[in-house]
Structure 1
Amino acid sequence: MSATSCLLTEEQFLCCICLDVFTLPVTIPCGHNFCKSCITQHWNVNRVHCQCPMCKKHFKTRPELTVNTFISEMAAEFRQSAGNKGSRGSEIQVAKPGDVPCDICSGTKLKALKSCLTCFASYCGVHVDPHLTAGPLKRHSLVDPIANIEDRVCSKHKKPLELFCKTDQTCMCSLCAVSEHVVHNIVSLKDEYEAKSAELERAEAEIQHMIQERRLKIQQIERLKTHSKEDAEREIADGVQIFTALMQTAERRLNELIEGIEERQKSTEEQADRLITELEQEISVLTTRTAEVQQLSRTQDHLLLLQSFTSMNAAPCTKNWTEVRVRLPSYEGTVVKAVDELEEMLSRGKQKLLHGARLNRVQHYAADVTLEPHTANPWLILSDDGKQVSCGEVRRDLPDNQERFSLYANVLARQSFSSGRFYYEVQVAGKTDWTLGVTKRSVNRKGIIPLSPVNGYWAVGLRNRNQYLTLTCPVVGLSLTAGPQRVGVFVSYEEGLVSFYDVDAAVHLYSFTGCCFTGELSPFFSPGLHHGGLNAAPLIISPVK
């Protein structure tokens, strides 16, 4: 038959009504062929005229429709050989190893598209059509193809497994339920399926949540790797800068030490040279006098000796060298003193360089921060650009929305962060009271809630003009030599770190470490109460230089 079908064209196997390959083809008295469902529906719509859609021949009575088995087999063979689409748009494919074959196909088995849990059989795209069109068969339960469908039949009663015993956790048929599981908790297979499906969905959701958590953890670790690399590169650069400066300072001090010693040695040498010159001059005078004395002593002229003796007997004009000393400079302790001075200088320079380098590192993560008006306490006054906040003398009439702080004079930034690092600076000059830091975006903003890490706040503040505090639990004072005029705030989310800096002095003030951040963080600001104008100056978010 396959050889014959190969000589036929696709048009010869098409129904002229649905324009698809015949499904359950029938032949009417005029000799034309149609799908049984197509011609039946056509005549149902046109009840007055029972005629052939092709040749328009009329029939007095509706012909009895019988499936033409020969054309049906030819159409099935054509579908198999041509790889055409089934009448329902399903792919007709020969069953391969691992596929569920059609139980109805004779000869070459086609791949099953559906299995019937009522008939306990599997059907290809050609043979499943009766289950989609015939009334009684449409009530059967069709599922995706199932291999070994006989496993769904009770081996004892030969009835479908359609119930589930929750007590014994086993599937069973209706006869098993009345014979062996009478007092057990029995539900339908569908109900248990839905329950187990719900459990699987919850399990899948939980697994997906766990996967998401681990992906977030990977992202955090990747960010930490990036931060580590950046920190290492900056630390190396800072180290090169600091050690170069220290070595230059040490070299300069060494040169100063050498120059000082050489100057003192040169001064001593010059003094000695002057004395030697003076002594040599006196020796020359004395040598001349010696020659004159010797010459006079050898003369035989009595008158000349006596006349010259008085002048010769007078002492030459010389210095008394008994007390003259060349004082050697003492170098004892010179190197030690220079080293001590160098250490002190290096210590001061080191602190300055280290603090400056540390501040420069965090300033690299500067963020553009602005204030969010919807979060501001009604006593607060915000600038139009969202960069300044101060406490007013009159409480404004504002809607008490969920985001607004109702009791504390706080305001949050528009920006929030759930990863990475960020830094910002705030001018606090001229104030007697302020609080700065970061808080969880989800923090409760109503009522009395102490500002502490336990309640989602990491902050420092000033009270009574000169009392600097860390808002820990309990509060701890900060001992500062001078009050900051500008405060820098740095956050590293993955490290759980919040640090505060005196920007102008490049001094680290305080750090919260080991923080366990969850959710979003936002910078928060509290300019403190007005205090009759004593604390009227605003907090100003400053650009990072």
Structure 2
Amino acid sequence: MASDQESCFLCKEYLRDPVSIPCGHIFCSICLKTYWDHADYTGSYTCPQCRVSYNKRPTPRRIGGSRQSTLQRNSESFPPPPPSPDYNYAGPQDVGCDICIGKKHKAIKTCLMCLASYCEKHLKPHFESATFKRHKLVDEIGHLDRQICPQHQKGLELFCRTDQMCICVLCTVKEHKGHDMVSAEQERAEEQQRLGATQAEIQEKIHDRFKQMEELKQAVDSLKNSAQRALQECEKMFADMMRSIERMQQEMAKLISSNKRAALSNAEGHLERLTHEIADLKRRDNEITQLSRTEDHIHFIQTYHMLIAQTEAEELPTVSVNPYFSFGPVNKAVSEMKQHLNEFSNDELVKVAKAVNKMTFCQLDESKKRRSVKSEEAAVYKSVPVKEPQHRDDFMRYDRPGRSSRGRRVSHQL
């Protein structure tokens, strides 16, 4: 709203006791009250300036402060305010009286014989004079040019069923001679019956659509609950499978560790025995060396036979080592287990996806679809066909972007 407004839109005078309404426009308090007092009869309250509608009568807000003081000072130099304006004058959205000269009053009735709209004052002859007794009055309507034949400038009273158009009496002489014609009133009565049947059909469709909408809402709620339960159960079962895999990993680690310890213990025992045997053999070697250097022939002969007898009597066991021993079979077994698990999981996921995709949540029954009366290109809602995944990579496309770290770990392990 412009801050330099000084005049009221209704009375066209300087604002007196200005008030504003929710849309921001400002009027004189008495002008706005009088305007909306007339609107109390219709129950529709609109802004006189911008025509914004309100469901109930708004409470005007008084303009205070320096602005009101200034407006009051400006108004002191002018004569007293004029009488309350007559809000029976036709506005931009109203039908004006065709008889009024200058500023037109609102029309309250339209005569279909005179093809003119009248205000309350100029309508009186239709009630007081017998000349207008047979004229038909209806509530005010605009665009009276639609009620006149464009060729003969006469009122449209008949309906040509052959050409499906409204005509005047003069049209029957030449342009529509010999056509199937009835009065507009008779055609209206017949079409009114068909309109009633059409309205009943539309209301039945509305009821049916509401029923389908409620069923769809319930199905959507059930779908959400089912999906939530399925997610929770899947998370629980995959967690159990992860714990089973972790237990298998722990058992495999125990197996490798126990075999490692047994092999190391056996090897350490053989190493200790070989160490003792090497030390004993070195001792004998030293004794033989010392014996070979002695000059006592008797001592040499006696000791020689004892050493030879001891050496020949002792047989040392041979320690054989497998240079190709490794835990490769364990890795191979785990690798084969992983491959079998991947193939199994892929097959099972594809089976589940196929089973789910075969179930249709909602779709249109094409056999009952009818062409729309208003448009031949009515929008048709169809269920989007889902391509069944054939491989694990296809199935993983259904994976949601925000999956948890646990889900990522399962996919890596599989």
TM-score, with length taken from structure 1: 0.39
TM-score, with length taken from structure 2: 0.49
Q: Name the structure where helix makes up a greater proportion of residues.
A: 2
- Name the structure, 1 or 2, with higher relative contact order (CA <8 Å, separation 6+): 1
